[in-house]
Amino acid sequence: MSFNVKSWLVDAVVDSVLAKPSGSRHGITGFWLASLNRVRNERILRIGTLHGHHFLLAAEIDTDTTHVMDPNRLDEYVEHEMLKHSKDKDSFSIQAARAHVQECVEKGRIVVAFRNARALTGEFKSNGRNSVWYEEDQ
């Protein structure tokens, strides 16, 4: 099975990851409500845009750094949130990022970390359920 994340904020993350040399393409997708044990057992992470379901990256899940959000890592999460919004036409304030991340921490959301990311090629079908979902490998 594959673990899949769709987000309209993915472009900045993809550009940041693919700018690194192969073998150093590590990072996090964002903050998701999901089963930590289930996510950690998945092999592939795919990140893409909601519009048109165009998936951009495939990567291994980094089980050592995938975790329930930790209040002590708030600054790291805020930095990632600012990166995701770096291509927004409208400005996204650090205060807005902090407020969003704090809410995610309080809800016990999951940080999904990845390594060895690469561009995803080929067709991929959405099951149409929600932003975080699983699908059988083909």
What does the domain layout of the chain look like in residue ranges?
2-119
For residues 111 and 64, is the Cβ–Cβ distance under 8 A? no
The band of 7, judged by pLDDT with boundaries at 50, 70 and 90, is confident
Q: How far apart are the first and last CA of the chain?
A: 9
Q: Does the pLDDT value for residue 58 go beyond 90?
A: no
pLDDT, residue 138, reads 43
Q: What does pTM read for this prediction?
A: 0.84
Q: Does the pLDDT value for residue 114 go beyond 90?
A: yes
- Beta strands 55-61 and 110-119 are antiparallel
Q: What are phi and psi of 27, to 5 degrees?
A: 175, -165
For residues 42 and 61, is the Cβ–Cβ distance under 8 A? yes
User: In degrees to the nearest 10, what's the CA dihedral of 78, 133, 90, 101?
Assistant: -20
Fold of 2-119: 2.30.130
